Structure 1
Amino acid sequence: MSIINTIQLLFYKENPELLEKIDFENEAVFQEPLLFAYFNNKTSSLFSTAMLTEIIQGYFVEKEPLLLNESYNKEGIAYLPNLGYFDEQGNKVDDVFLIKNSSIELLIHPIIHLKHIFKDFNENAIDTSKIEISKDLCKRHENALSNAFLYIKSSNKEHFDLIEQCCKKIVLFKTDPKNTNSFATINAHGIAFFNVYQDDYDEVFFVDDIAHQTGHVIMTTILFERKKYFIIDENQNIGSLTKNKSEYRSFYILFHALYTYYTTILCLGACLENNCFNKRQTHEAKARIGFYLLKYKSDLLNFEKVIQHYKSIGNILTNDGISLFKMIANKYVDTNKKYDKIVSKFNYNNQPYNFTFRDFIKKNPIPND
């Protein structure tokens, strides 16, 4: 509600007349991710003021002639939320595409509002020619993506509902991981971006990436009013606290990372318990759990060093923050206890930053039994 209230206030300051054209009680309007893309980039002058009207016209109570001047991508296709995709003559070429088994939308064409979202690891814009977003790419992965959502839904309905509540849209893109990884960002809050650069990605990858990137979206939502959770300055670099010069992350990013390990292991574990995967996929899912347990352990140690620096967790987090952290930490303990005998035998020496199963099985063949 705090997020919705903030968007409503920004809306009112920008163009109060527009509020008269929409149903003010319809919360979905103010959770539209492209509104975050618009308002978070006002200072960069990326969009004209006319863009706000184009973004929101699909939510008008009474239909009006469509405005499309600001919304065309380089292929001449304009996307209007809640309406679909239109050509330069104003004809609809594609409807809004909802992922099967969910209320979450898959964006099937490049969206002009999101062109600036793709940044490299130095926060520089990535040339759009290096980013593939296409209807063909979506079709290639549609079944595995839909199945993954179904697996999460059937295995852990409570967490699936949380994903649907916070994440409204998905973007599948393909680029060299040297450019960027899968991600979520406050600059387009409510969208999870999946880098499907490996053509052999299947349901296991998507369960992992759905859980991970929507985990970021959920955590950004939870932590929107940060002082409800943090006592210290959450933006300070943890390397300065842990005496690790190679550590570039902030305490806020560390907290996010821990939560995404929690969500990823939660969903992979639930799918394993629900027998969602075949034999090969089961081996991969267990491998991914082991991979994240290593990251989990490392960052829990980083967190412990921050606690030591401040003498007590109560000097770092509020009671709400402590409760959230305990939930995250307990998941590591429970999962490690359950899977340690299996994953401790795995060899991860050839793994890059992103888990790669085809490399994993070179050192860890699929068991015969």
Structure 2
Amino acid sequence: MNWKTLDNLVGEGRHKMSLYARQLVAVHCADLMQSLDHLGASLFFSPFIFVPNVDSNSVRLALTAQTLAVSGKLSTAIVAHTNELGHVFVPSLGYLKTPIPNGEVSLRANHGAEWLVDVGGTMESLTIEPISCTDPFPFGVIEHSTTLFGNDIIGDDGSQICLTDGCVAKIGAPIEMLQALQQISKNQPHLFSLIETSVDYFVMVDHRVMRSCTTESLPGIVFVAAINRLSIPYFIEEIAHQCGHAIISTISFGKNVFFLEDENTPLSNHSRNPRETRSILVALHGAFTEVISALALYEYLLSGSDVSSDDRLEALGRMTFALKKYTVDKQNVCAITTLTPLGRSLQEFVLEMGDKLLEETVELRAGVNVDQQIYDFDFDQFKLNNGYRNLG
């Protein structure tokens, strides 16, 4: 396997998503299919169509945003639910500002330029607040809560998380996040191509547990934690890691393609560590995301960019810690004996890239102490453990 093969596999996964989205639209909005049936399958793709237990009005809203530019006026009324600000999120377009917070509104759309809301029997024109974007990159940034997500997002602790309960950070993409995207696109164009294909929106969240559900229920959407230290190295790792989950989930959309057994089989069935609680799929995800995160950070260190001493130190620490976690997951992934040919090919790709990074960074990592790091990298703790006392 190589980067080009991965790119092709992600493209095939997106196509499968589009076909499935088309089927969902046919179920929820059969009356629209007659006029829209001639449209290509890819036009039906919107991450918000995939939300578990989504209602037909949410599908209509998502579909309206996808098709207005092609098919013109869609005047059928759409019932939507506003958030605490009175906003209705319209995929691909923005936030419609209504005078009704936490309520139900009836909307009509004309070519995407004019949106009307029924207020007491009178149709009033609405203004639209555009979705933030990662200009010049083609990703939308969701920075307000949206009821389109519903209550079906599951965190890694098994609990339900609702994006209308204050998890969405009230910020657009921080400048450091844009700079991180620029660094990845410049230093790792193969990885960035995979990200462009598999990701539509970044959701800025201030709840760490949210990150674990990336693409499980919402393909094309990546959750980015905007908490604690917001630096270029932080966002390089966060973007690479979370998008890595999106890449693998896109390839395997709708089908177990990596294993000859249930992908939720406990890793402890293969690993010698009886305390291992993850599944074999999660272990494969882990090794892949750790390696591409370390790779993105390594390329940043080698880029010759104008990197501050703190950012260079943080990138070195994050890369070292990612590779330390990889050495553990390498043993776990190697222990899995039920891989399909595609799973084996992905395993070999990850191991080859990870082992090469370990070899190339031996001198760079010499003397770097990450022993006190637990799971999420703590830069202040890292500086303290490596003899840097100026933590302000």
Normalized against structure 1, the TM-score is what? 0.85
Partner of 1:363: 385
Shift of 1:168: 0.4
Is the contact made by 2:200 and 2:220 (CA closer than 8 Å) also made in structure 1? yes
Partner of 1:18: 32
Q: What do the CA deviations read for 1:133-165 (whole angstroms, capped 9, x no partner)?
A: 244x22xx5211111111111112222121011
Give yes or no for the alignment of 1:186 onto 2:219: no
Partner of 2:314: 284
Residue in structure 2 matching 1:351, options 364, 367, 373: 373
Letter in 1 for 2:146: I
Identity within the alignment, %: 21
Give yes or no for the alignment of 1:86 onto 2:96: yes
Residues 260, 30 of structure 1: alpha-carbon distance in 2 compared, 3 angstrom cutoff: farther
Q: Counterparts of 1:331-342 in structure 2 under 5 Å?
A: 331-342=353-364
Give yes or no for the alignment of 1:156 onto 2:185: no
Letter in 1 for 2:317: A
Shift of 1:237: 0.5
Is the contact made by 2:201 and 2:222 (CA closer than 8 Å) also made in structure 1? yes
Q: Counterparts of 1:42-81 in structure 2 under 5 Å?
A: 42=53, 47-60=54-67, 61-65=71-75, 67=77, 69-81=79-91
Residues 19, 229 of structure 1: alpha-carbon distance in 2 compared, 3 angstrom cutoff: same
Structure 2 unaligned spans of 5+: 1-14, 100-116, 118-125
Residues 231, 132 of structure 1: alpha-carbon distance in 2 compared, 3 angstrom cutoff: closer
Shift of 1:362: 0.7
Is the contact made by 1:101 and 1:146 (CA closer than 8 Å) also made in structure 2? no
Partner of 1:313: none
Shift of 1:15: 2.3
Partner of 1:253: 282
Distance (Å, rounded) in 1 between the aligned partners of 2:314 and 2:384: 12
Partner of 1:165: 197
Letter in 2 for 1:189: P
Partner of 2:333: 303
**3-state DSSP class of the match of 1:187?**
coil
Partner of 1:106: 141
Distance (Å, rounded) in 2 between the aligned partners of 1:183 and 1:101: 27
**3-state DSSP class of the match of 1:116?**
coil
Q: What do the CA deviations read for 1:209-263 (whole angstroms, capped 9, x no partner)?
A: 1101111011001122645432232221111332533211111111111111122
Is the contact made by 1:151 and 1:271 (CA closer than 8 Å) also made in structure 2? yes
**3-state DSSP class of the match of 2:184?**
helix
Distance (Å, rounded) in 1 between the aligned partners of 2:363 and 2:193: 32
Shift of 1:27: 5.3
**3-state DSSP class of the match of 1:348?**
coil
Letter in 2 for 1:53: R
Partner of 1:147: 179
Normalized against structure 2, the TM-score is what? 0.81
Distance (Å, rounded) in 2 between the aligned partners of 1:129 and 1:81: 16
Q: What do the CA deviations read for 1:60-112 (whole angstroms, capped 9, x no partner)?
A: 31223485532311221101112211122542241122212310110121111
Distance (Å, rounded) in 2 between the aligned partners of 1:166 and 1:109: 22
Is the contact made by 1:108 and 1:133 (CA closer than 8 Å) also made in structure 2? yes
Residues 162, 130 of structure 1: alpha-carbon distance in 2 compared, 3 angstrom cutoff: same
Letter in 2 for 1:36: F
Distance (Å, rounded) in 2 between the aligned partners of 1:130 and 1:14: 27
Is the contact made by 1:54 and 1:67 (CA closer than 8 Å) also made in structure 2? no
Aligned length: 346
Residues 154, 25 of structure 1: alpha-carbon distance in 2 compared, 3 angstrom cutoff: farther
Residues 183, 357 of structure 1: alpha-carbon distance in 2 compared, 3 angstrom cutoff: farther
Is the contact made by 1:171 and 1:192 (CA closer than 8 Å) also made in structure 2? yes
Q: Counterparts of 1:190-201 in structure 2 under 5 Å?
A: 190-198=220-228, 200-201=229-230
Q: Which has the higher strand share?
A: 2
User: Structure 1 stretch 322-331 or stretch 60-69: which is displaced more?
Assistant: 60-69
Distance (Å, rounded) in 1 between the aligned partners of 2:86 and 2:189: 39
Is the contact made by 2:195 and 2:247 (CA closer than 8 Å) also made in structure 1? yes
Residues 128, 223 of structure 1: alpha-carbon distance in 2 compared, 3 angstrom cutoff: closer
CA RMSD of superposed structures (Å): 2.4
Residues 54, 145 of structure 1: alpha-carbon distance in 2 compared, 3 angstrom cutoff: same
Residues 97, 321 of structure 1: alpha-carbon distance in 2 compared, 3 angstrom cutoff: same
**3-state DSSP class of the match of 1:170?**
strand
Is the contact made by 1:117 and 1:188 (CA closer than 8 Å) also made in structure 2? no
Shift of 1:28: 4.9
Residues 86, 279 of structure 1: alpha-carbon distance in 2 compared, 3 angstrom cutoff: same
